[in-house]
Amino acid sequence: MLTRINSTLLYLLSASLIVLVALTVADANADEQVLKPNQSKTAIFDGETLNGWQAVPADCASDWQVKNGMIVGTGTQQRLSYLTWNNQNLTDFDLSLSYRLHGKGNTGIEVRSQADPSGKRPLIGYHADLGHPGIGKHILGAWDFHFTNRKEHRCDRGTNLVINLGDEATRTKLVSPIEQEGILHDQWNQVRIVARKNHFKFFINGQLSSEFTDNYTNGQFSQGGIGLQVHDPGMKVEFKDIYLTEVSTPVPDKSPNVLLIAIDDLNDWVGCLGGHPQASSPNIDRLAKRGTLFTNAHCQAPICNPSRTSIMYGLRPSTSGVYMNAPKPWTVAGLKKNVTLSRHFAAHGYKTYTTGKIYHTSGLPDGDFDVVGPRPGQRLKIDQRLVTPKKEGANGLWDFGAQPYDEKLFQDHQTASWAIDQIQAHETSRRTSANPQTAKPFFMAIGFYRPHVPFYSPKRIFDQIPLDEIELPLVNPNDRDDLPAIASELMVAPAAPDHAWFVKSSNWRRAVQSYLSCIRFTDEQVGRLLDTVYQSPLADNTIVILYSDHGFFLGEKERWAKQSLWERATRVPFIIVQPGGKQGQVCSQPAELLSIYPTLIDLCGLSPRDELEGNSLIPLLNDPKATWHHPALTTHGKDNHSVRTDTHRYIRYRDGSEELYDLRSDPNEWTNIANQPEMETLKSKLKKQIPVKNADPAIGPQRQKKNRAKQKSGLQ
Ligand SMILES: [Ca+2]
Ligand SMILES: [Ca+2]
């Protein structure tokens, strides 16, 4: 009986051991695939001799012995004693070993170690700390910075540390790091160190313990040796199964360049979205074929300032309080501490560039980019006024037609030319630098001005789409009958002429022709940029993202411009191309422009930011049909929201009135089905997606000043 129990126990124990080993191997393999080593791992300890190893300093050789297939390190004096492997010029590698620590003390592994030119220490470099569970997380499983000429950075167990160009640290928590209980005293532990360019990972027993990225180019070590350490009298540590894999196969760059192409007021008419038969956009279409086209992507606000704020700050309008074209986000007190997308890239060692319109009115927060190019604005001095609907209540930007001047003078031609020059200069300087591997990558945000009003483009383009052949958008004369009153109030675009004016003055067709011409001209400029990237080595290490800040109405629902929560104003072209990523993917799941920030963080390995509200699109880039429970939200003014799923749009206004459309049968959103009783279940489900927090509209310094003046004069 006793024997049977014992053998059952033994069986259970050995089964759990097998499971444990299998899990460890699976984890290790997952990372191996990322590394793509070109060699199999090499045992660098033969189990019998210390051939290939040397003690540092040389007079501590007696601290290191081989016994029973193990390297045994015994501390004999109060000093640092190392056993180093003879290759002192390792760059990218994967080191694995087992260690067992007896008694007190701690030990560690030297990574990219070098002789200390100042002679203060035997070796300097990065150091992975080992020990037993009792010694605390500041030592066990942490990274140390054993340098004499730069500062120490805490990178405890459970930490992801990023050191920026100025040697300043940012720390975030790892998702499921090894816990203290997972590390054993007096027993064998498996350790794995992965060094890849300036990124270092430390695994214990198959789980990540700590990792860091070192962007401090003045101090980082891109090569060096590896070694084992003891340092206290009586301390005893054993090592065995020591394997080294040198990684020299080129792998996708962990710090790719980023090219962000923002287009102003471009709706879903473009070729690859199939929106208007005469909207030709061959260059945007060819970009889509190189990566992932999101066919159900939506802005977070249907107007310039709040949409662009949401993209660059990573916040919803309902959180930032930036709902309309004022105030500028960087003047809002509550947003001053926030780190914009470009600044986050700068903090990770990128050189940042911008030109054209990235924020509303082409303004920029102070110091938001390292290099700022031309920002010519929506109107040029040489523009001739062509149609003049100004007296009909529109602002001065409302005009359209062909401008006669040289094409090179158009804003978007200038913008593209500057960007191309900068990209080429950056690339030349990187290639010719002393160490191209560690030269800064670029983050460049380019904002094209058209097809925003005025709809001006060269005559050459107008001639491609004759006026009498223009197809007008579909209009249902009864469309507005089923709308709540607040919808009709909110959808008025105050700066635009009304639809009646376009019809009465016979300008509808002309305006559509002009908008289509602008799409073609801007698309040509996009093509020039794409040629610069894709006809050069930049193709292999540059992420390209193209988006429009929101859509645009040209008579649909008998209205013009953006400012509404319907499809034509919220849906945008949105394309992400990553080097080495899957090509020709089409994703019809709901996507938000707000996701650009967190997605780029993931694609470029930057440290995450807790305040960001968008969802990283990585799962959809990997598989466009992946399970995705996130609808796309658009907000227009405080507490008016639209929720777009893969099939429906639900709109809820601040007074509680609603609209619901089934886009599968009603792509023009003509039939509001919100009042149908059978829709209650769906509506209550969609209602739950609406933000709970609805910040009051943010106010900038001018409004604050006025309010103070009012208070002073007793008016408030
Ligand atoms: Ca816009
Ligand atoms: Ca309707």
Structure confidence at residue 198 (pLDDT): 84
Distance 32 CA to ligand 1 centre (A): 45
Beta-sheet pairing, 442-448 with 257-263: parallel
Ligand whose nearest atom lies closest to the CA of 569: 1
Structure confidence at residue 499 (pLDDT): 94
Distance 459 CA to ligand 1 centre (A): 24
How confident is residue 12, by pLDDT bands cut at 50, 70 and 90?
very low
Pair 188, 278 in one domain: no
Structure confidence at residue 22 (pLDDT): 32
Which pair of structure tokens corresponds to residue 186? 């007096």
Is residue 706, in this structure, part of any structural domain at all?
Answer: no
Is residue 660, in this structure, part of any structural domain at all?
Answer: no
Q: What CATH number has the domain bearing residue 76?
A: 2.60.120.560
Q: What CATH number has the domain bearing residue 523?
A: 3.40.720.10
Distance 90 CA to ligand 2 centre (A): 68
- Domain hosting 466: range is 257-606
Ligand whose nearest atom lies closest to the CA of 659: 2
Distance 482 CA to ligand 2 centre (A): 5
Structure confidence at residue 34 (pLDDT): 37
CA distance 248 to 39: 9
Query: Going by C-beta distance under 8 Å and a sequence separation of 6 or more, which residues neighbour residue 702?
Result: 327
Distance 568 CA to ligand 2 centre (A): 14
Ligand whose nearest atom lies closest to the CA of 358: 1
Over residues 565-598, the pLDDT tens digits come to 999 999 999 999 999 899 999 999 999 999 999 9
Say if residue 77's pLDDT is above 90: no
Over residues 502-529, the pLDDT tens digits come to 999 999 999 999 999 999 999 999 999 9
Say if residue 110's pLDDT is above 80: yes
CA distance 295 to 572: 8
Ligand whose nearest atom lies closest to the CA of 481: 2
Over residues 528-560, the pLDDT tens digits come to 999 999 999 899 999 999 999 999 999 999 999
Structure confidence at residue 568 (pLDDT): 98
Give the orientation angle of helix 304-313 with respect to helix 596-604, to 10 degrees: 30
The total number of structural domains in the chain stands at 3
Pair 234, 302 in one domain: no
DSSP H helices in 36-175: none
Distance 668 CA to ligand 2 centre (A): 9
DSSP state string for 640-653: -EEEE-SSEEEEE-
Structure confidence at residue 703 (pLDDT): 75
Is residue 698, in this structure, part of any structural domain at all?
Answer: no
Pair 207, 152 in one domain: yes
Ligand whose nearest atom lies closest to the CA of 263: 1
Structure confidence at residue 234 (pLDDT): 87
Pair 127, 15 in one domain: no
Distance 13 CA to ligand 2 centre (A): 68
Say if residue 42's pLDDT is above 90: no
- The alpha carbon dihedral of 124, 129, 130, 136 has a sign of positive
Over residues 670-699, the pLDDT tens digits come to 999 999 999 999 999 999 999 999 999 999
Pair 126, 52 in one domain: yes
Over residues 463-513, the pLDDT tens digits come to 999 999 999 999 999 999 999 999 988 988 888 999 999 999 999 999 999
Distance 266 CA to ligand 1 centre (A): 8
Other C-beta atoms lying within 10 Å of the C-beta of residue 507:
17
Give the orientation angle of helix 508-534 with respect to helix 282-290, to 10 degrees: 40
Pair 264, 194 in one domain: no
Say if residue 19's pLDDT is above 60: no
Over residues 260-291, the pLDDT tens digits come to 999 999 999 999 999 999 999 999 999 999 99
In the chain, % of residues over pLDDT 70: 92
Ligand whose nearest atom lies closest to the CA of 305: 1
Structure confidence at residue 714 (pLDDT): 53
CB 355 within 8 A of CB 342: no
Structure confidence at residue 395 (pLDDT): 87
CB 91 within 8 A of CB 244: no
Structure confidence at residue 39 (pLDDT): 44
How confident is residue 713, by pLDDT bands cut at 50, 70 and 90?
low
Provide φ and ψ at 519, rounded to 5°: -60, -45
Radius of gyration (C-alpha) of the chain in whole angstroms: 31
pTM of the model: 0.68
CB 545 within 8 A of CB 594: no
Distance 71 CA to ligand 2 centre (A): 79
Over residues 392-430, the pLDDT tens digits come to 778 889 999 999 999 999 999 999 999 999 999 999 888
Q: What is the mean pLDDT of residues 656-681?
A: 98
Ligand whose nearest atom lies closest to the CA of 478: 2
Pair 486, 365 in one domain: yes
Query: Going by C-beta distance under 8 Å and a sequence separation of 6 or more, which residues neighbour residue 649?
Result: 565, 566, 567, 642, 643, 659, 660, 661, 663, 669
Structure confidence at residue 137 (pLDDT): 80
Say if residue 8's pLDDT is above 70: no
Is residue 239, in this structure, part of any structural domain at all?
Answer: yes
Say if residue 7's pLDDT is above 90: no
Beta-sheet pairing, 442-448 with 553-554: unpaired
CB 679 within 8 A of CB 660: yes
CA distance 174 to 20: 22
Say if residue 661's pLDDT is above 90: yes
CA distance 375 to 210: 44
Pair 235, 317 in one domain: no
Say if residue 3's pLDDT is above 60: no
CA distance 422 to 429: 10
Beta-bridge mates of residue 14: none
Distance 665 CA to ligand 2 centre (A): 13
Say if residue 176's pLDDT is above 90: no
DSSP H helices in 314-408: 317-320, 341-347
CA distance 188 to 184: 7
Is pLDDT larger for residue 656 or for residue 12?
Answer: 656
Distance 674 CA to ligand 2 centre (A): 11
Is residue 645, in this structure, part of any structural domain at all?
Answer: no
Q: What is the mean pLDDT of residues 129-137?
A: 85
Structure confidence at residue 28 (pLDDT): 33
How confident is residue 437, by pLDDT bands cut at 50, 70 and 90?
low
Lowest mean pLDDT among 28-32, 375-379, 457-461, 521-525: 28-32
In the chain, % of residues over pLDDT 90: 73
Over residues 135-154, the pLDDT tens digits come to 888 889 999 999 988 888 99
Is residue 536, in this structure, part of any structural domain at all?
Answer: yes
Q: Mean pLDDT over all residues of the chain? A: 90
Dmax over Cα atoms in the chain, in whole Å?
Answer: 102
Structure confidence at residue 30 (pLDDT): 34
Structure confidence at residue 307 (pLDDT): 98
Is residue 665, in this structure, part of any structural domain at all?
Answer: no
Any idea what DSSP says for residue 159? E
Pair 502, 523 in one domain: yes
Structure confidence at residue 312 (pLDDT): 98
Over residues 43-54, the pLDDT tens digits come to 999 999 999 999
Structure confidence at residue 254 (pLDDT): 62
Active site positions, annotated? 304, 360
Pair 409, 523 in one domain: yes
Distance 274 CA to ligand 2 centre (A): 23
Structure confidence at residue 33 (pLDDT): 33
How confident is residue 621, by pLDDT bands cut at 50, 70 and 90?
very high
By the CB criterion, residues less than 5 angstroms from ion ligand 1 are 264-265, 304, 549
Structure confidence at residue 567 (pLDDT): 98
Say if residue 313's pLDDT is above 90: yes
CA distance 210 to 201: 6
Other C-beta atoms lying within 10 Å of the C-beta of residue 150:
15
Q: What is the mean pLDDT of residues 622-646?
A: 97
Is residue 320, in this structure, part of any structural domain at all?
Answer: yes
Ligand whose nearest atom lies closest to the CA of 480: 2
Pair 204, 79 in one domain: yes
Pair 84, 119 in one domain: yes
Distance 227 CA to ligand 2 centre (A): 73
Using CA atoms, how far residue 234 sits from 7, 78, 231, 237, 258, in Å, is 40, 10, 9, 10, 53
Structure confidence at residue 389 (pLDDT): 73
Structure confidence at residue 223 (pLDDT): 86
End-to-end alpha carbon distance in the chain? 90
Distance 360 CA to ligand 1 centre (A): 8
Angle at 387 between CA 381 and CA 392, to 5 degrees: 110
